[in-house]
Structure formats: structure tokens, C-alpha cells
């Protein structure tokens, strides 16, 4: 069974969760889903992140109690692991719009579905859903996802791949999405703006990685985005 | 405390965030030189090494000398060249874009800027703050 099939079967398995208002598929699988027919050609880890607004926690908790083919991990109770090789892991992560400090985070303690809640996710807003294989998959607007991936620590091998996920998103982003990136960026704290700029420079100079888009032909696009963000952020560099 | 390992992950995330904030605050200080050099490279489509005579000629012609070259030890001269003047690099050696050892070993570097007013304006606006 290829990865695309496993990803879509997993999303079918958690369809009741995906129908909960506010829930979003987030993380590195989103550019896979945004490919034509959810082509899923990017090589990323074998899991899918599900963003759960804290206001929807009760509804999601009820839905996960009914899931078939997945069971809660004993070691990591915010993760549902597959009972067969047809599916992939599902990682539930909390979104709290009240957390405006991008680098803040907390644990939503719950005996059935505890969540790690990250401030960087509070910038995600629902975008046009992906319609594929009879599924309606809620995904974020590209701008929020691009910024979320750029405002956190991107060191090491996983960091490099996460930055190339940003590149994949930039390649499908419309000019209006990039305008939105600049607009949201201008309202972020200085230190977060600097982290985003720093990660863009790292992305610009990355070497190609197997199974991910090659940054070299797109370096000018990255340079123009950095120039636009510097302009949007004011005189500070 | 319930789910102690989740709380441990949050503590780790917060400590990483504190390091990121610290790094961000260094952007205009000595520690931030590596970011500032990467920024210049991001705004560049080519990187060349030139000899002293060629570098003197470029500087005398009025091309911008980036102060970032004085921010590392040993210091080096870095000139920003608009892409429309790249024929001035005859006799130079192209280098891979990046902060590799062979790049940092060169005393005279020329960065050829991407075309476009937005990039050229950005790189020059940033010089005063660097």
C-alpha cells in the first residue's frame, strides 16, 4: 500500500474528527494534500497532525472514542497509533487562539485526550478544504502554516525537512497568500519576526534533500519574500 | 501531576523557545553575524572570489562594501554587485553559495545581487543596521 493510500485511509478513519468544527489537518502532510489529487510525493514522517481548537476539545474527545483501526498510544496519549499497516499515526495537537505569545505552550490535561497546546498554532485559520477520495479535508490557509513553520526551531535534519515543507507551501501559495504572510508578520513580536527571517535565510542556502523540492531554483522567490517581510516589519533587520 | 512526560515536553519546548529568543536578540550584535552573512547570501544569486587588485578596482568604482565583512575574524572585504555589472568579475573565481570553509577563507568576496528593486532596496536598507 503506497503512502498516499495510507494517508487517505487514515483520514477516512478519523472522518468524524475532521467534521468537528475548527479541526484542521496541519503540519507536514498539508503540502502533500495540496498537491493535485493529494499526490503526496513529499517524503515526510509517517504521521498526520490534527489541530484541535481547545473549544472543540470535548467534541473531538467524543469522536476519538469511536475511532476504528486506531488506538491510543500508552506512551503518548495524544497520539493514536494504527492497528494495521494500512494506516499511519494520528497526532492530536491543541490550538488556543487566546495564546498570542507565539513561543508559549501548555498542557491541556485530560484523562482521555491530553493535548500539547502551542502558541505558534494560534495563527492558523481554516482555508479552502481539500476535496479528495470522497473526503472533505479541512486544512489551514497557507499563510498561517508558512509562518507557523518558520517561527519555531528548525535545527537538525528534521528542521531542514520542515523548512523544505515551507518551500513546498510557497510553491503552491498565491500572491494573495504571500501578502497575507507579510500582513500577519508585521504584527508579530520582534523576536518572532527575527526567527522567521533567520529560518528563511537557512532555507535559501539548504542543499537538496531526497524526496523534497529542490530550493536552488527557487532562491530568488525566497529572497523576494525575505525582502517583502523586511519591508513589512519596518526598519529593524 | 498528570501526564508528566507531556509537561516535560512543554518544559523542553519552552527552553528551546528561550534560546530562540536569545538568538533573535543577537541579530544586530556580534553573535548575529552569521545570520547577517546568510541574509546577504540569500539576496545574492552568485558568489565570487577576486584578488586584491580587482577588489580595489570595484571599491574605487563605488560599489557598496558590506560592513558584515568586518564582523568576522579575520575580517574580509565583501562587495555587493548589481547583476547588471557582473561582467566586471572577469578573472574571478565563482564559489558555492554558503558559509563553507573555502568561502570563509577568501579575503575578497563579491556577491552578485538578484535582479529586482525589492531585493536591491532591502539589501541596501539593511546595511545601516548591520
Residue B23: pLDDT band with limits 50, 70, 90: confident
Residues of chain B above pLDDT 90, percent: 62
Residues A139-152: pLDDT tens digits? 999 999 999 999 98
Q: Which of A31-45, A74-88, A145-159 has the highest mean pLDDT?
A: A74-88
What pTM did the predictor assign? Answer: 0.89
pLDDT tens per residue, range A204-213: 999 998 889 9
The mean-pLDDT minimum among A188-192, B24-28, B111-115 falls in B24-28
Rounded average pLDDT over A191-217: 93
pLDDT at A5: 94
Nearest in space to A63 (alpha carbons), one of A107, A27, A19? A19
Least CB–CB distance from B24: residue in A78, A114, A191: A191
CB-closest option in B5, B17, B122 to A230 = B122
Report the range out of A10-14, A26-30, A150-154, B10-14 with the highest average pLDDT: A10-14
Interface contact B104, partner A, CB < 8 A: no
- Per DSSP, the residues of chain A read --HHHHHHHHHHHTHHHHTSTT-EEETTHHHHHHSGGG---S---SEEEEEEEGGGHHHHHHHHTT-SSEEE-SS-TTEEEESSTTS-EEEEEEE-TT--STT-EEEE--SS--EEEEGGGGG--B-PPEEETTEEE--B-HHHHHHHHHSS---HHHHHHHHHHHHHHHHH--HHHHHHHHHHHHTS-HHHHHHHHHHHHHHHTPPP-TTS--SGGGHHHHHHHHHHHHHHT-S--
Tens digits of per-residue pLDDT, A75-117? 889 999 999 999 999 999 999 999 878 888 999 999 899 999 9
Closest CA to A211 of A44, A43, A45, A47: A43
Per-residue pLDDT band at A125 (split at 50, 70, 90): very high
Q: Do B21 and A191 touch (CB under 8 A)?
A: yes
Give how far B54 is from chain A: nearest CA, Å.
27
Enumerate the residues of chain A whose CB falls inside 8 A of the CB of residue B13: 105, 116, 118
Q: Which chain B residue has the Cα nearest residue A222?
A: B42
Whether B130 and chain A come into contact, CB under 8 Å, resolves to yes
Q: Is B43 on the interface with A (CB under 8 A)?
A: yes
Query: A-side interface with B, Cβ within 8 Å?
Result: 75-78, 103-107, 109, 111, 114, 116, 118, 152-153, 190-192, 194-195, 197-198, 200-202, 204-205, 219-220, 222-224, 226-228, 230-231, 235-237
Q: Helix A219-232 crosses helix A175-186 at what angle (to 10 degrees)?
A: 40
Q: What 3-state DSSP class applies to B47?
A: strand
pLDDT of residue B1: 56
Q: Please say if the pLDDT value at position B42 is more than 80.
A: yes
Contacts of A78 in chain B (CB under 8 A): 6
Model pLDDT, residue B129: 45
Q: Supply the pLDDT for residue A234.
A: 64
Kindly state the average pLDDT of the residues B25-39.
86
A147-173: average pLDDT: 87
Mean pLDDT calculated for residue range A37-57 = 91
Query: How far apart (Å, rounded) are the C-alpha atoms in residues A199 and B114?
Result: 19
Task: Please give the pLDDT value at position A235.
Answer: 43
For the segment A12-24, what is each residue's pLDDT rounded down to a tens digit?
999 999 999 999 9
CB contact under 8 A, B35 and A198: yes
Per DSSP, helices labelled H in chain B are 4-25, 33-42, 52-60, 101-104, 117-125
Does pLDDT of A40 surpass 60?
yes
**Can you give the pLDDT at residue A236?**
47
**pLDDT averaged over every residue in chain A:** 92
Given this model, what pLDDT does residue A237 score?
Answer: 44
Amino acid at each position: 500500500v503506497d503512502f498516499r493510500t495510507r494517508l487517505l485511509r487514515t483520514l477516512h478513519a478519523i472522518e468524524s474528527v475532521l467534521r468537528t468544527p475548527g479541526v484542521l489537518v496541519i503540519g507536514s502532510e498539508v503540502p502533500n494534500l495540496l498537491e493535485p489529487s493529494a499526490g503526496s510525493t513529499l517524503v515526510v514522517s509517517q504521521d498526520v497532525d490534527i489541530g484541535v481548537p481547545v473549544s472543540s476539545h470535548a467534541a473531538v474527545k467524543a469522536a476519538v472514542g469511536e475511532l476504528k483501526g486506531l488506538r491510543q498510544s500508552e506512551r503518548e496519549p495524544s497520539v493514536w497509533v494504527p492497528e494495521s499497516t494500512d494506516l499511519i499515526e494520528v497526532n492530536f495537537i491543541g490550538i488556543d487562539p487566546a495564546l498570542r505569545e507565539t513561543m508559549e505552550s501548555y498542557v491541556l490535561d485530560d484523562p482521555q485526550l491530553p493535548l500539547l497546546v502551542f502558541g505558534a498554532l494560534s495563527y492558523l485559520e481554516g482555508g479552502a478544504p481539500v476535496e479528495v477520495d470522497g473526503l472533505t479535508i479541512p486544512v489551514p490557509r497557507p499563510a498561517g502554516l508558512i509562518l507557523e513553520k518558520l517561527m519555531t526551531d528548525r535545527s537538525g535534519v528534521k528542521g531542514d525537512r520542515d523548512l523544505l515543507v515551507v518551500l513546498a507551501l510557497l510553491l503552491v501559495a498565491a500572491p494573495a497568500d504571500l501578502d497575507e504572510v507579510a500582513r500577519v508578520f508585521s504584527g508579530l513580536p520582534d523576536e518572532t519576526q527575527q526567527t522567521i527571517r533567520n529560518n528563511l535565510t537557512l532555507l535559501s542556502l539548504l542543499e537538496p534533500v531526497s524526496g523534497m523540492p529542490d530550493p536552488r531554483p527557487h532562491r530568488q522567490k525566497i529572497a523576494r519574500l525575505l525582502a517583502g517581510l523586511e519591508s513589512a516589519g519596518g526598519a529593524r533587520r | 501531576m498528570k501526564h508528566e512526560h507531556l509537561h516535560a515536553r512543554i518544559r523542553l519546548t519552552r527552553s528551546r523557545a528561550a534560546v530562540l529568543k536569545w538568538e533573535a536578540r543577537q541579530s544586530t550584535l556580534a553573535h548575529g553575524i552569521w545570520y547577517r552573512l546568510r541574509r546577504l547570501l540569500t539576496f545574492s544569486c552568485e558568489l565570487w572570489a577576486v584578488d586584491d587588485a580587482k577588489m580595489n578596482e570595484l571599491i574605487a568604482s563605488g560599489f557598496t562594501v558590506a560592513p558584515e565583512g568586518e564582523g568576522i575574524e579575520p575580517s574580509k572585504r565583501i562587495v555587493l554587485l548589481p547583476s547588471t555589472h557582473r561582467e566586471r568579475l572577469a578573472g574571478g573565481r565563482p564559489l558555492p553559495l554558503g558559509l563553507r570553509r573555502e568561502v570563509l577563507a577568501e579575503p575578497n568576496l563579491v556577491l552578485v545581487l538578484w535582479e529586482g528593486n525589492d531585493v536591491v532596496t532591502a539589501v541596501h536598507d539593511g546595511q545601516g543596521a548591520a
